[in-house]
């Protein structure tokens, strides 16, 4: 009879036990992730921080968290790889993707891959906490002071401009915009 008992798998050791408020933050913006970690610890989460896809995947392998906040764009790849692995290891985990305004379409893909929700950067701790703890089917409240449409457009133009190595001609071509129009927009301050 003792032989049969040995075949039953033992419970997970306590150091590997997944706590219900375990949170993994994967973001390569160190000041942001440090502030967010502090704010989320203050809300009762046990927080671990990773700064890359590789570190995020390693953290998930060692102890898949109940919650995750993952930046879409990381220095060594896409946060989509991290959310996909989290959902494989712990299907009940709730992950939120953080994305720049230029990546909203990709964020929709993240939701299809298992992210619970996505938030546009810069998101604050209150918005992130609300998204993590929202009831199924419940949508986060609209932001109090959302960016204006002009500001979103300006942010998108700035992002494409940076991605094109600050080359005005290439940026104008990719945005299907006249070069002089683009130069006027770039010369102005950001709208509110």
Same domain as 181, residue 127: no
Residue 121 carries which DSSP code? S
Query: For residue 2, how far is the Cα from the chain centroid?
Result: 49
Domain count along the chain: 2
168: how many CB neighbours lie within 10 A of its CB? 14
Task: Give percent of the chain with pLDDT exceeding 70.
Answer: 78
Give the pair of three-digit tokens for residue 178: 């006249």
Would the pLDDT of 105 be above 80? no
Give me the domain span that covers residue 109.
20-133
Would the pLDDT of 180 be above 90? yes
**Distance of alpha carbon 171 from alpha carbon 32, whole angstroms:** 29
**What is this structure's pTM?**
0.64
Per-residue pLDDT, averaged over 70-82, amounts to: 89
DSSP-assigned letters across all residues of 45-84: -EEEEE-SHHHHHHHHHH---SEEEEESEETTEEHHHHHH
**Distance of alpha carbon 42 from alpha carbon 63, whole angstroms:** 21
- For residue 106, being part of any structural domain is answered with yes
- For residue 37, being part of any structural domain is answered with yes
Would the pLDDT of 78 be above 80? yes
Residue 34 is part of a domain; what is its CATH number? 3.40.50.2300
Same domain as 153, residue 80: no
- For residue 153, being part of any structural domain is answered with yes
Same domain as 27, residue 113: yes
- For residue 14, being part of any structural domain is answered with no
What does the pLDDT read at residue 35?
A: 93
| Phi, psi angles (nearest 5°) of residue 73 | -110, 115
- For residue 4, being part of any structural domain is answered with no
Same domain as 98, residue 68: yes
DSSP-assigned letters across all residues of 135-177: PTTPPPPPPSSPPPHHHHHHHHHHHHHHHTTT-HHHHHHHHT-
- For residue 165, being part of any structural domain is answered with yes
Question: For 18-74, what is each residue's pLDDT tens digit?
Answer: 448 999 999 998 999 999 999 999 999 999 999 999 999 999 999 999 999 999 888
Would the pLDDT of 167 be above 80? yes
Same domain as 114, residue 28: yes
């Amino acid at each position: 009879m003792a032989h049969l008992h040995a075949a039953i798998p033992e419970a997970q050791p306590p150091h590997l036990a997944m706590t219900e408020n375990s949170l993994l933050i994967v973001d390569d913006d160190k000041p942001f992730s440090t502030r967010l970690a502090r704010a989320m610890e203050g809300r009762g989460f046990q927080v671990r921080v990773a700064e890359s896809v590789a570190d995020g995947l390693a953290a998930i392998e060692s102890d898949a968290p109940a919650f995750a906040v993952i930046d879409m764009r990381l220095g060594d790849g896409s946060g989509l790889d991290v959310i996909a692995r989290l959902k494989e290891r712990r299907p009940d985990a709730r992950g939120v993707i953080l994305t720049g305004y230029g990546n909203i379409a990709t964020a929709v893909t993240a939701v299809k891959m298992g992210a619970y929700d996505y938030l546009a950067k810069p998101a604050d701790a209150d918005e992130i906490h609300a998204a993590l703890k929202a009831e199924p089917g419940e949508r986060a409240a609209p932001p109090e002071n959302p960016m204006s449409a002009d500001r979103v457009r300006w942010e998108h133009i700035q992002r494409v401009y940076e991605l094109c190595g600050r080359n005005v001609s290439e940026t104008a071509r990719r945005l299907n915009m006249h070069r002089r129009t683009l130069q006027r927009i770039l010369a102005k301050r950001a709208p509110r």
